[in-house]
Amino acid sequence: MSQAPLLADAQSSQEQRLLVIYTGGTIGMQPQANGLSPAGDFPKRLASALSQLPLRDQQMLPAYDVISYSPLIDSSAATPITWQQLAADIAERFTEHRGFVVIHGTDTLSWTAASLAYQLQGLDRPVVLTGAMAPLEAPNSDALQNLYGALRFAAHPELQEVAIYFANRLLRGTRAIKQHSEAVEAFSSPSYPLLGERIGDDFILFPSRGLSYQQRGAPRFELVDYQPVANGEVVRITLWPGIAPWQLEAWLSHPNVKGALLQLWGAGNLPDNPALLEVIAKASGEGKLIAAISQCPQGSVHMGAYAAGHGLNNAGVLSGDDMTPEAAYTKLVHVLAQPISLEDQRRRFLTTLVGER
């Protein structure tokens, strides 16, 4: 397995800077009378925090600029329009910076990372998202180390995709999930190995696992308008024991719904009720994009491998293979937003675009 250590190069770091985009989240909050609340003046607070690093680490920091969103975004309130705005801001400043760090709340950080990957296809430089489980100034916070690692990896030219840096690990943006609501190691990549990691004082990138070794050429951004699918037009339905056809139909038959992500059991199983399959087939026949993944955090759907999943292919359901819910849902949003035929939308969903499946 080839490895590429991150090397200090103070002169080159001054030639072209990173851009840090602060969107909000726990990392920038401060205690108020009614609890933790978003706080401003983040560039100054970030510089102050980084100045507390050991001198050797400070010397390894790349030069950077900071922009802050106003108003700040609670990540639980993020929408496809939030994802679209972030991608547009990165694209607008793309040639001016050699890498990007997006500071984001952890609740939907992996959703934003997946969406950015689809919008910023063909990246030739890093886009690294990070956040923290505790505010920047809190005792024993993970914020400073996450920020430092994100800056270090965002300065590495061999990283050419959207990634998440958290708790010493660099994860592919379309392969990451938030698995814990409290632990410092909140994110995991259940179906793909790490892109890199911090080992002691070294930040190691594993280039053979990266997209830069799979796709070449100029960036081919797809900055489509997400407004037509930003108000609930794409739904996510996780099956439960006892789900009834009328319940599924209530979602899929709604005239506003354009697509749906179904989370099935195991390798892609439905309850033994033909009426459920009829509801799905009817929605698919109406031109709605229906995709399926497993409820299991690891493994793929293999529709038809069991009798309980037989008929899903004939009903027009698209296999999401081993995609995460975040990657599958944001991909549905992305392809449905494009002014292309239903056949092309189906084909693009089934095609690996940025290492998501």
Burial group, residue 266, by CB count within 10 angstroms (0-12, 13-18, 19+): middle
| Residue whose pair of structure tokens reads 């397995």 in the numeric block | 1
Strands 202-205 and 4-5, by their bridges, are: antiparallel
Rounded-to-integer distance, Cα 217 and Cα 222, Å: 15
Structure tokens given for 108: 């939907």
Terminal Cα-to-Cα distance of the chain (whole angstroms): 21
| Residue whose pair of structure tokens reads 């390798």 in the numeric block | 267
Structure tokens given for 178: 């938030």
Q: Is residue 41 a contact partner of residue 68, using CB atoms and an 8 Å limit? A: no
Return phi, psi of residue 294, to 5°: -85, 150
Which of 26, 108, 174, 324 is an active site residue?
26
Rounded-to-integer distance, Cα 306 and Cα 267, Å: 8
| Peptide bond just before 71 cis, omega within 30 deg | yes
Sign of the CA dihedral with 95 first, then 100, 102, and 108 last: positive
Angle, vertex CA 176, rays to CA 175 and CA 177, nearest 5: 130
112 as an active site residue: the answer is no
Catalytic residues: 26
